[in-house]
Chain A
Amino acid sequence: MGWNGQPPLKPKLGASNMTMLPEASAIKLGLVIDLDICVGCQACVVNCKEWNTSGYGAPLSDADAYGAAPTGAWLNRVHAYEAGTGADARTVHFPKSCLHCEDAPCVTVCPTGASFKRAEDGIVLVNEDWCIGCGLCAWSCPYGAREMDPAEGVMKKCTLCVDRIYNDNLPTEDQVPACVRTCPTNARHFGDLGDPNSDVSQMVTARGGFDLMPEQNTKPVNKYLPPRPRRAADDTPVSLLSMAQDATPTGFWKWVDSTLEKLG
């Protein structure tokens, strides 16, 4: 068992000790990421690295960290895209981590049983004691959610902070994934996407949340919320000079203005 009597962090021995996908779980823990709000500050990226280098499994190592070409294992990356053209183009910051897919190809391709999806809550994990570091799971993931640890030689991936969300030793407000806890703009949300009445599910319904690469048939649990429609732009050109000239001073500045005018 994991700590606090919570679901185990390793696959159960016996008949279920196979990288077959479990029956779809009723509870589908995952993230909802709001592309309208994310400002690309990378705080989630850094806090993810910070928490996961000291939590579940081997540390998230870096290679050549202070050299010319540093590289390392990170479980969360924020891309930036431009969508649209001309005046309508907009910058969209795009966080990407494991989507904890219902039909996770990374689980079924694993030859050792190290890669598994929990029947209890749908979290996809890697048992690092069994992983041979063949990399096939990373090849099978369309999203690039898995990265090989350069020091440990095992596959690393988002654990949905399984060592936070069930951890009663932490204050309630900290029992969410590190990326969600740290997001300063509230662009990341954590919850049960298997429950249609949960906050995250309702957010997905209200905002038209969508799957990434639905054509890959992975059925991601994580959902993304689209940027909200843009408000109609005011076509009148804004001139700071005319604003300054037209401004009528009041109070102290009115006195300064009139005194200066008296001085000629």
Chain B
Amino acid sequence: MRPAWSIIFFTSLSGLGFGLAAWVVLGFVDLTNPQHLLGVGGATMALIVTGLLSSTLHLGHPERAWRALSQWRSSWLSREGVLAVLALAAMMVWGAYYVRHGMPPLWANIVVAALMALTVYATSMIYASLRTVARWHHPLTPICYLMFAASSGLLAVLWVLALLGQMAAAPLVLAAMLAVASAWGIKILWWQVAGAAGSGSSLASATGLGGLGPVRSIMPPHTSENYLQHEMGFVVARKSAAQLRVIALLLGGLLPLGLLFVMAPTALGFGVGLAAHMVGIFVERWLFFAEAKHSVTIYYGDTH
């Protein structure tokens, strides 16, 4: 599948934004200073909104994007839009309550954080619901998205705490390390398990000619690339997938872990760790699309 930059930014940035927002509403950052509330709230909203706006960049008709909120009964893309709007609204209500009355009750914080998680889950289900891409259509896919939202959100919390001069508790640093390590652990598992998942389709089943013997494509139906091949037959850099995985693991996993382990809890150390983690996620997300094989490519002679 063609890795569109708009989609890569959308899924990683909104994941980071919702992850950070969830940890913030759960009370991991002290926001009693109104300036801190505004700064953290504004930055979180900016991340989420940038991600959402980025997702409209690849549309043929972005001006009609509002229509995408209508089909939540059947479409995960629509559900994602509706949940994102609800989550943003819930964030604002939470902020307004915080200004007037201080920290909302725990159950309310959990509900708001769950809404953030549900939004990330819906994002992942846009892809995981597609039977046509075997490696996406796997129960581990949503877990990967949720884990990266949680890990990047936690790293962002550490960075914010350092920026605001608040002391990060040692268990929180440990939790962040655990989140980063398990996010990449699950991703490695996904690469092994989901990556090996076959679609069950073949040229024999695609053409129904398997009974005659082996089937092979002998002539394409058109002389130059069409939309299907451009969009779904993306094969560039598939051969370098192994190297890119190592790069993603080093930048996104080992570097932040190392920084958390050795560095003093400074804003610089946490900032670099978060940035490296995000670069790793970008590479991981790029591979998520670039390595994915769509069943239509079988008709063009690709084997799955």
Task: Using CB atoms and an 8 Å cutoff, list the residues of chain A in contact with chain B.
Answer: 17-21, 35, 40, 45, 69-74, 77-85, 88-92, 94, 96, 105, 107-114, 130-136, 138-144, 147-150, 152-154, 210-217, 224, 226-227
Residues of B within 8 A of A141 (CB): 132, 296
Partner of B224, one of A20, A69, A153, A154: A69
The chain A residue with its CB closest to the CB of B79 is: A111
Given A84-B214, A113-B67, A147 contacting B226 (CB threshold 8 A):
yes
CB <8 Å contact, A152 and B225 = no
- Residue contacts A-B, CB under 8 angstroms, 17 given: A19-B73, A69-B225, A80-B221, A82-B218, A94-B207, A112-B78, A113-B71, A114-B67, A138-B232, A139-B232, A144-B232, A148-B231, A153-B59, A210-B208, A213-B295, A215-B201, A216-B131
Residues of B within 8 A of A18 (CB): 70-71, 73-74
A170 to chain B, nearest CB (A): 28
The chain A residue with its CB closest to the CB of B132 is: A142
Within 8 A of A (CB), among B38-88: 58-62, 64-65, 67-71, 73-78, 81
CB <8 Å contact, B228 and A132 = no
CB <8 Å contact, B213 and A83 = yes
A134 to B199, CA, bound (A): 24
CB <8 Å contact, B203 and A81 = yes
4 other contacts beyond A79-B217, A90-B212, with CB at 8 A cut-off?
A: A85-B213, A105-B130, A132-B60, A132-B67
A144 to B78, CA, bound (A): 22
Mark interface residues in B195-218 (1 if CB within 8 Å of A CB, else 0).
Answer: 000011101011111111111111
CB <8 Å contact, B61 and A143 = no
A154 to B68, CA, bound (A): 14
A148 to B64, CA, bound (A): 16
A135 to B57, CA, bound (A): 12
Given A83-B213, A142-B131, A214-B205, A77 contacting B77 (CB threshold 8 A):
no
CB <8 Å contact, A79 and B74 = no
Given A80-B218, A132-B64, A71 contacting B74 (CB threshold 8 A):
no
Partner of B205, one of A71, A74, A215: A215
Residues of A within 8 A of B214 (CB): 83-85
CB <8 Å contact, A108 and B74 = yes
B143 to chain A, nearest CB (A): 21
Tell me, yes or no, whether B28 is within 8 Å of chain A by CB.
no
Tell me, yes or no, whether B126 is within 8 Å of chain A by CB.
yes
Residues of B within 8 A of A144 (CB): 228, 232, 296, 299
Residues of B within 8 A of A105 (CB): 130-132
A140 to B203, CA, bound (A): 18
Partner of A134, one of B68, B129, B215: B68
**A interface majority secondary structure:** loop
CB <8 Å contact, A140 and B207 = no
B111 to chain A, nearest CB (A): 25
B139 to chain A, nearest CB (A): 17
Given A85-B214, A131-B61, A135-B231, A216 contacting B295 (CB threshold 8 A):
yes
**B interface majority secondary structure:** mixed
CB <8 Å contact, B70 and A92 = no
Residues of A within 8 A of B216 (CB): 81-82
Residues of B within 8 A of A17 (CB): 70
CB <8 Å contact, B132 and A140 = yes
Partner of B208, one of A19, A79, A152, A226: A226
CB <8 Å contact, A112 and B206 = no
Residues of A within 8 A of B206 (CB): 212-213
Tell me, yes or no, whether B239 is within 8 Å of chain A by CB.
no
The chain B residue with its CB closest to the CB of A216 is: B131
Which 10 A-B residue pairs are closest in the complex by CB-CB distance? Answer: A133-B60, A153-B60, A84-B213, A144-B296, A80-B219, A111-B68, A111-B78, A77-B221, A83-B212, A112-B67
Given A112-B68, A113-B71, A154-B60, A71 contacting B201 (CB threshold 8 A):
no
A133 to B299, CA, bound (A): 24
B81 to chain A, nearest CB (A): 7
CB <8 Å contact, B73 and A20 = yes
Residues of B within 8 A of A132 (CB): 59-62, 64-65, 67-68
Residues of A within 8 A of B165 (CB): none
Output the residue of B1, B61, B214, B218 with the most chain A CB within 10 A.
Answer: B61
CB <8 Å contact, B209 and A226 = yes
CB <8 Å contact, B218 and A91 = yes
Within 8 A of A (CB), among B227-271: 227-228, 230-232
A112 to B296, CA, bound (A): 24
Given A85-B214, A138-B231, A212-B206, A111 contacting B67 (CB threshold 8 A):
yes
B10 to chain A, nearest CB (A): 12
A211 to B220, CA, bound (A): 21
A21 to B75, CA, bound (A): 11
The chain B residue with its CB closest to the CB of A82 is: B218
A94 to chain B, nearest CB (A): 6
